[in-house]
Chain A
Amino acid sequence: MMENKKVWFFGNRISLLITLAIVFVAAIGIRLYDLTDMPLDFNANRQLFSALKARGMYYAMLPASAADVPQWQREMAISQWKSMATIEPPVTETLVALSYRVFGLHLWLSRIYTSFFWVLGGIFLFLLAKEISSLDGAVVALLFYLFLPFGIIASRSFQPDPLMVFLMIAGLWAMYRWRSSGTWKWALTAGLLNGAAIFVKNVAVFPLLGAAVGLVLERGLRESIKDRQTWILAILSALPVGLYTLYGVLISGSLASQFNLRFFPDLWKDGGFYIRWKGQLDGITGFGPIVLALIGALLAGKRKSAFLLGLWAGYLVFGMTFAYHISTHDYYSLPVIPIVALSFSPLVALLADRLEQVQPAWLVRTSLAVFTILVCGVYLWYARVDLARSDYREDPQFWWKLGEKLGHTNPAIGLTQDYGARLAYWGWQDISSWYYSGDLNIRDLAGINVNLSDRFADQIKGKKFFVVTQMSKLDSQPEIKATLYNHYPIYDQGNGYLIFDLTHPK
């Protein structure tokens, strides 16, 4: 592997700075496009989960007299927040709730935060890619990270992942710097950043640990173990989440249920699992970039290869651990975007080096610039089209009206979008969500046998309504559909909804 170059393909430092400035502005610009649309464009359930938490926190912070909604709504918002499961510490939600206090309750504020987190991650990605490849490799890695259409949409979403990815990249950069310099300053920085990333979302531990193991093995296990810096780095990385988990499991009990239905080793033997996982990756980065990234990781040079392959191993272990989720939830693979970007940067460096031998240089540079602009332009255009295509601004009105029909406070159960989150957020109507067929599958995988009719009878106890807004989901459960139609009168129905009255069985 060639030594890192100090100049980039297009020559001087000024052109690099201008390019980077344009890239970062465009990256922020596309993420803030269509800013005020509802967060239903990407894993709506996960986004509304955070939105409900942030709203509850906001109303809890406000004195009752200052709330801009009736008292019952304020109380419901707080109760919704408190009844939500705790998965990870609500860092982004807290930030957003605090911002609501300054700017008022605007759901799109979260989009600004997460977009900035992702773009900030780009700075560290650039710095790290420069270390492991060259300036050329770093620029291409940055472009990939910032302009990948999936990354654009996912990084605007209201969930902890953009912040986690940002901190994870910063942690990786600091770890790599630490390995290069061997100083306490970098050991402490890496430990703190790793700790923050894992605290925000504990799954960050997998790639971080993988990369760390790669560096440790490359240095020599014995030498690394003898080094106090290694231990401090590890302790700082583990401490915040360790304390949080101990508190959540042993003291508050809020995390006790979070480790259920997550680990399915049976899937490892199922060929379809790997195909579905690959299918998720195809949708995120495409298979081609992953292959290029793996080639890049192999040709990077000893330490760099160890670091990059460690990252990949971490991701692999992560996927095997969360086998069901990695193969069904695309956002679980969000960290793979920086991993791919970093991994193919050595390959870009190699190719750029080869291109420098091609004459005439001006033609090569011009062509390269045109191609790069075209590819980024196409990616931005597709992301823009994707965002512009759907307008969810009318949705809150539908849910509000449905909430009104249900009376807002009447106990209800149903099959509605995102486990009832839309109805809860905009309709101000809490409902228990009846199983989706996917929920039954996951229980089946876990060996839990659900007797549908018993479960149904149990679940509707004390409920006044059964609400259906996802007719296809009802169709896919003919037993429940028949029970509802045969035994309960229709209370109300309209465009897109159906309400059964559970209090007056036929």
Chain B
Amino acid sequence: MQVTQSPNRSFIAPTRWALALVLTLLLGFGLAIRLFDLTDLPLDFHPTRQLFAALKARAMYYQTAPGIPDWKRDITIRQYETEATIEPPILESLVAATYRLTGEHLWIARIYSSIFWILGGVFLFLLARDLLSLDGALVALAIYLFLPYAVIASRSFQPDPLMVMLILLCLWSAVRWNRNGGWGWAVLAGLGGGAAVFVKFTAAFFVAAALLWAVLDRYSLKQALTRLQVWGMALLSILPAAGYLLYGLYFADTLGSQFSGRFFPQMWIDPFFYFRWEGKIALLLGHVGLALALLGLMFLRSRRSQNLLLTLWAAYFIFGMVFDFHISSHDYYSLPLIPIGALSLAGMGQEMLRGLAEAVSGSGWRRAAAHLLLLFVVVMTVWDVRVQMKSVDYRPQEAYWASIGQALDHSASVIALTQDYGYPLVYWGFQKASIWPDYGDLQYRDRAGKSDFASRFQNLTRKKAYFLVTDFNEFQYQPELKDYLYGQYPIYLQGEGFVVFDLTHPLTP
């Protein structure tokens, strides 16, 4: 499919100076909004995932940090050792290294993630310049930077912002290699792709798609197999993650359990899976945004651009089908869709801006109104996110969890029905606890065919002295547990927002 188009001047940035100004404003605003409310606790977006990374970073730091009480160091390191290894803790290492210079400040992670996302924006802009008009590229960048979901998600302490940045580096380099050839671009594409997959395995879908497109758009399969650059790209993109995987599976044995409980093909025939998935995408782009993004593919300048974007959409689809449970329950799994969606939407955006430029060309006030409108959109979006961030203050949670940890004396043998898999409790309360599964987990386990309250209770509370409840919503969802605890065990202590049952002295022995 091809749109015939006449070359025209940029409406948003008609001169180089204007372009420099617009880019500075976009990237500057993009960074500023991410650093707003910097020191609030990372509970605004998937706290479990963020605190998982925070605990790892702290444990790395405590291993060598001076002046940490031994009991704190022990709890932290023991917790770290029990944590699953999902991907190499690159961001965590970086944050821990920074702690050594600055002291432990959880918000440092936010700075790193935000900068990664902004750098990703630079690569996205460069990539979009190859696929779209200048206006289209600026629209893509603005969407990528200011989509409200993206702002919140991209400041979170998890590997995804870094992964997205590296995917974009790989994508841009692959597009450049596809156009110009040369070892430089091939190596950059391979390294970017390899680093992305190393940071998080799920990047493999997007990296593979980008490289496959770049190769097969340039060569036939037969030709491609004879090109050294192709082999170079492939090796560079595979080697780091493959090495880590082999080491984790066969030497360190840290990755053995990471491939179970992720793939549920029976969900493919459940229509609600697709609705849930669409619902997650709608959190990122909106229902209309998703539809417009797909429609936007038709407005792309060239067949080449369209094929690339279609390949990336296909990669996202395959990724979602493979990680079907997670894609339909964890919105951040769809984070790589943001740049893909931004590029797709920008196809339509550039046509819109061209129409707008034509329509307002004869009228100064309408041209000014159009520019003001575009500025208004960015400012309002940023302001809205700012309000969202400012409306919640999680800082008091630190003292709350610390008080529970203190009440339990940090060392007791505890099982807990608590928020975010007990990570806030262990992070701020220095209180390790086994976790009683929440309702969602129970459903997840049921799906995998594991169930039965009595045996579950017996298994999970074995050798535990206390049952802590802080998540009372969950408690309501599990009436069997609630009745059992209140019926069988005395209350050991309770306070504002928590209750502890004494499992060592049952009411009816």
Contact = CB atoms under 8 A, between A and B. Distances in A.
Contacts of B3: 354, 357-358
Contacts of B289: 288
Contacts of B360: 298-299
A294 B359 CA distance: 13
A275 interface: yes
B298 A298 contact: no
A347 to B, nearest CB: 6
A307 to B, nearest CB: 14
Interface string A1-32: 10000000000000000000000000000000
A137 to B, nearest CB: 12
B278 A378 contact: yes
Interface stretch (A87-95, A187-195, A367-375, A461-469): A367-375
B170 to A, nearest CB: 28
A358 B4 CA distance: 8
B480 interface: no
Contacts of A355: 298-299
B221 interface: no
Interface in A331-354: 347, 350-351, 354
B2 A278 contact: no
Contacts of B387: 275
Nearest to A289: B288
B299 A359 contact: no
A286 B1 contact: no
Contacts of A363: 1
A378 B286 CA distance: 12
A363 B351 CA distance: 19
Interface in B305-358: 348, 351-352, 355-356, 358
A368 B299 CA distance: 12
A368 B383 contact: no
A379 B287 contact: yes
Contact of B1 (A278, A347, A360, A379): A360
Nearest to B362: A302
Given A358-B1, A371-B294, A300 B286 contact: no
Contacts of B275: 381
Nearest to B148: A287
Contacts of B4: 357
A286 B286 contact: yes
A347 B355 contact: yes
Given A298-B360, A358-B3, A363-B1, A368 B287 contact: no
Nearest to A382: B287
B448 interface: no
Q: Which of B298, B355, B381 has the most CB of A within 10 A?
A: B355
Contacts of B384: 275, 278, 287
A360 B373 CA distance: 35
A360 B369 CA distance: 37
Given A278-B380, A291-B377, A364 B298 contact: yes
Interface string A58-88: 0000000000000000000000000000000
B370 interface: yes
B291 interface: yes
A110 interface: no
A364 B370 contact: no
A358 B2 contact: yes
B366 interface: yes
Instruction: Report, as a range, how many residues of chain B touch the other chain.
Output: 20 to 34
Interface in B171-188: none
B309 to A, nearest CB: 13
B351 A354 contact: yes
A275 B383 contact: yes
B249 interface: no
A360 B287 CA distance: 26
B359 A301 contact: yes
Nearest to A358: B1
B295 interface: yes
Contacts of B369: 298
Contacts of A287: 380-381, 384
A1 B358 CA distance: 8
A355 B1 CA distance: 10
For the residues of A in contact with B, the DSSP-based class is helix
Interface in B1-24: 1-4
B148 to A, nearest CB: 9
B216 to A, nearest CB: 21
Interface string A301-316: 1000100000000000
Nearest to A276: B387
B455 to A, nearest CB: 35
A351 B352 contact: yes
A250 interface: no
Contacts of B356: 295, 298-299
Contacts of A381: 275
A360 B298 CA distance: 11
Contacts of B294: 367, 371
B340 to A, nearest CB: 17
Interface string B371-382: 001000100110
A354 B299 contact: yes
Contacts of B288: 286, 288-289, 375
Nearest to A347: B352
Contact of B287 (A278, A347, A357, A375): A375
Nearest to A286: B286
Contacts of B358: 299
Nearest to A305: B366
A9 B246 CA distance: 55
Nearest to A351: B351
Given A298-B370, A298-B373, A358-B1, A350 B298 contact: no
A342 B278 CA distance: 27
A368 B373 contact: no
B1 A298 contact: no
A351 B351 CA distance: 7
B360 to A, nearest CB: 6
Contact of B352 (A1, A288, A295): A295
Nearest to A350: B355
Nearest to B360: A298
A371 B287 CA distance: 11
B293 to A, nearest CB: 10
A506 to B, nearest CB: 30
Contacts of A286: 286, 288
Contacts of B298: 355, 358, 364, 367
Contacts of B380: 278, 287
Interface of B: 1-4, 275, 278, 286-289, 291, 294-295, 298-299, 348, 351-352, 355-356, 358-360, 366, 369-370, 373, 377, 380-381, 383-384, 387
Given A347-B352, A358-B298, A379-B287, 14 more contacts: A1-B359, A278-B384, A286-B286, A288-B289, A289-B288, A298-B369, A301-B359, A351-B299, A354-B3, A354-B355, A355-B298, A357-B4, A368-B295, A375-B291
9 nearest CB pairs, A to B: A299-B359, A350-B355, A375-B291, A299-B356, A358-B1, A354-B351, A291-B377, A371-B291, A299-B355
24 contacts: A1-B359, A275-B383, A275-B387, A278-B384, A286-B286, A288-B286, A288-B288, A288-B289, A289-B288, A295-B373, A298-B369, A299-B358, A299-B359, A300-B359, A350-B351, A350-B352, A354-B351, A358-B1, A358-B2, A363-B1, A364-B1, A364-B298, A375-B287, A378-B278
